[in-house]
Structure 1
Amino acid sequence: MEKHKLLILIVDSKQEKQASKLIHKISPSMQFVHIGKGTAELAVLDELGVGRAPKAVIWTVIPESLVTKVLDRLNQRLYLDEPNSGIVFTIDLTAVSGLGALQYLTGKEVKNEKS
């Protein structure tokens, strides 16, 4: 079974729909979107490149084979290499509670197999 990663993207809330569509076109997995406002000092926000405006935090599980493609597309379209434009990163997933949960998170059809 292919390995998966948790992708976390933080961008201005105005870019949430565009970012969500970019990810979905490459990896149609379930996405969790939260609107947030951080409490970090301005210097920390500037260092991370996220600024003070309200943020959209997008969480999604993607196949490891698509990570580079998704990150490249997000960087190209959202200009994440520019200051205060956002940040994206991935975290290795070492376990999921079951095959059904993984299928649900990755947008795969869950088959109900009866013996």
Structure 2
Amino acid sequence: MDNTQGKIRFGASSAPHKLKLIMLIVNRDKVEFYTDFLQDFEVNMQAVTMAHGTASTETLQLLGLEDTGKAVILGVIREDRAGEALDALSNKFRTIRGGSGIAWTIPLTSTIGVALYRFLSNNRQGVGTKWNTPTK
């Protein structure tokens, strides 16, 4: 009797890449730039939500600023790419006009499902094959 029936094959065994949640707070008019920029670091899933800065009107006038509209960008990045991405973002925050912001990461401790993990970690090996179907 075959003991592999109903079990799932996961392909070549290798240590999985750890994942992190990367979060950015940037000006609203720079959202498209930063979401495109994050794709260079294999950030496959991103979500954007609008936010509002906390500075008072008096403070804004004193500093010569007008808009407090911000955006929060959330994405999932592999741990081995996170440091490189944060360094590149820090450089962009300093050099792009109106492109200042803040970025940080938080470790993710688990995901539900191999297919979701492979998508989030940009591991496309086995997509469209029998790697995630029960063996016969």
Same fold (TM over 0.5): yes
Task: Give yes or no for the alignment of 1:113 onto 2:128.
Answer: no
Distance in 2 between residues matched to 1:101 and 1:19, nearest whole Å: 24
Any conservation in 1 of the 2:41–2:77 contact (CA below 8 Å)?
A: no
Alpha-carbon offset, residue 102 of structure 1:
2.0
Asked if 1:35 corresponds to 2:55, the answer is: no
SS of aligned partner of 2:35? helix
Deviations 1:23-74 (A, max 9, x none): 1012241111111225x566xxxxxxxxx61111111111100011111111
Paired position in structure 2 for 1:58: 73
Contact 1:19–1:78 (CA under 8 A) maintained in structure 2: no
Larger Rg: 2
Q: What's the % identity of the aligned pairs?
A: 30
Q: After TM superposition, which residue ranges in structure 1, 4 or more long, deviate above 3 angstroms?
A: 104-112
- Residue equivalent to 1:85: 100
User: Which segments of 5 or more consecutive residues in structure 2 lack a partner in the other structure?
Assistant: 1-15, 57-66
